[in-house]
Each structure stands twice: as C-alpha cells, then as structure tokens.
C-alpha cells in the first residue's frame, strides 16, 4: 500500500482557516450536524471523532510532506495513523510545523531531522506535482483506492466491496 498526496482544499492559505467558517461556508449554518453520523459510525469501530475540537480547517500541504518524509523512512502507516488521530480525535492544528513534528515523533521519526525537513521547502514541488497528477487522473476526493493499478474505488465502502475490487484487479 502507498499513501499518495491529495489535498481536499488546496486553495486554503498555508495557515488554514477557521473550521467554523469553513463548515458554514460548505454546509450553511448548523452544518456541523452533518458529522453526527460519522461520529456514530466511528464509535462503532473504536474511533472517537472529536470534530468539535477541530478549530482550523487546514491546508494539508505540509502534512503531505510529512507523509512523504515518513515514506522515505518506512514509517508512513504509523505517521498516517498519528496524523489521523491527531486531527480527528485530538483537534491538532496540522498547519503548525511543531505539531506536525510532534505527530511524526509520536510515530517514531527522529525529531531534529524531521523538524529541519518540515522547516525547509524540500519536496514541496514534488508533493504539489503528485497531487496535481491525481487530479488530472480524475480523482476528486478521499478515500480513493487503486488496486493493482487497474481498479479504482472512490469513497468509503464496506470491506466486502473493497475485497471484491481487489479480486477484480487480480483477474483483469
């Protein structure tokens, strides 16, 4: 499995925007109630979503750079888990480089080299180019799965659906 960059909101400023303003712009007043079902389903599978703790709707470019760095160090799955837990369960402000560093360290990346990497612009253009390639390939949201470079599945699905797509990818 490979994690590839795809920004849901690539036009947001680097520091992000108010989560409340974003939700109201996207869904209208009271739009945060849209997350009640996700919160309920999350509880069923052991995820304690804390959408009310999220104060910033982030530009995720640096989070994707962290994922790229993690991939280079064999820690991509652990960092993805740390990022998801940080943002969705803890309300971490993932536009903050110190927060991204802490989340990477929690996934057992070395602090000093990671902080230096994030403070630089290394891989900035690479991550943007990879994100653009995904958009040009027709990807418009997450999650998005591509099995065996043949079968694509967009959105959250039951395990049986994903297994069926995997089997189809092996047959084609």
Q: How far apart are CA 102 and CA 79, in angstroms?
A: 10
Kindly state the average pLDDT of the residues 71-87: 98
Q: What was the pLDDT predicted at 167?
A: 94
Upstream peptide bond of 79 is cis (omega within 30 degrees of 0): no
CA atoms within 13 A on the CB side of 73: 19
Give the chain's mean pLDDT. 94
Element (H, E) at 22: helix 19-27
Check if CATH label 3.40.30.10 holds for domain 17-136.
Answer: yes
Percent of the chain with pLDDT over 70: 99
- 8 A C-beta contact, residue 97 and residue 114: no
Q: 114-132: b or e for each residue (b if 16 or more CB lie within 10 Å)?
A: bbebbeeeebeeebbeebe
What digits encode the pLDDT tens for the residues 14-32? 999 999 999 999 888 877 7
CA 96 to chain centre: 15
Kindly state the average pLDDT of the residues 138-165: 90
Nearest to 20 by CA among 34, 35, 7, 32: 32
What digits encode the pLDDT tens for the residues 107-130? 999 999 999 999 999 999 999 999
User: pTM of the entire structure?
Assistant: 0.90
Domain ranges of the chain: 17-136, 142-172
Given a cut of 80, whether residue 136 has pLDDT beyond it is yes
Q: How far apart are CA 38 and CA 155, in angstroms?
A: 13
What digits encode the pLDDT tens for the residues 81-110? 999 999 999 999 999 999 999 999 999 999
Kindly state the average pLDDT of the residues 144-160: 89
- Return the biggest CA–CA distance within the chain: 48
Given a cut of 70, whether residue 172 has pLDDT beyond it is no
Q: What was the pLDDT predicted at 160?
A: 93
Kindly state the average pLDDT of the residues 20-48: 88
Report the SS3 class of residue 52: helix
Given a cut of 70, whether residue 1 has pLDDT beyond it is yes
């Amino acid at each position: 499995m490979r994690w590839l960059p795809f920004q849901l909101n690539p036009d947001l400023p680097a520091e992000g925007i108010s989560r409340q303003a974003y939700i109201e712009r996207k869904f209208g007043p009271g739009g945060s109630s849209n997350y009640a079902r996700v919160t309920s389903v999350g509880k069923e599978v052991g995820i304690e979503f804390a959408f009310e703790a999220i104060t910033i709707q982030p530009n995720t470019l640096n989070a994707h750079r962290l994922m790229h760095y993690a991939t280079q160090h064999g820690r991509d799955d652990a960092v993805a888990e740390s990022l998801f837990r940080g943002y969705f369960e803890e309300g971490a402000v993932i536009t903050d480089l110190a927060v991204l560093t802490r989340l990477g360290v929690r996934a057992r990346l070395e602090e000093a080299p990671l902080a230096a990497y994030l403070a630089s612009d290394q891989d900035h253009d690479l991550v943007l180019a990879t994100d653009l390639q995904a958009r040009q390939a027709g990807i418009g949201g997450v999650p998005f799965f591509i099995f065996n470079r043949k079968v694509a599945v967009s959105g959250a699905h039951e395990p049986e659906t994903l297994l069926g797509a995997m089997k189809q990818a092996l047959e084609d």
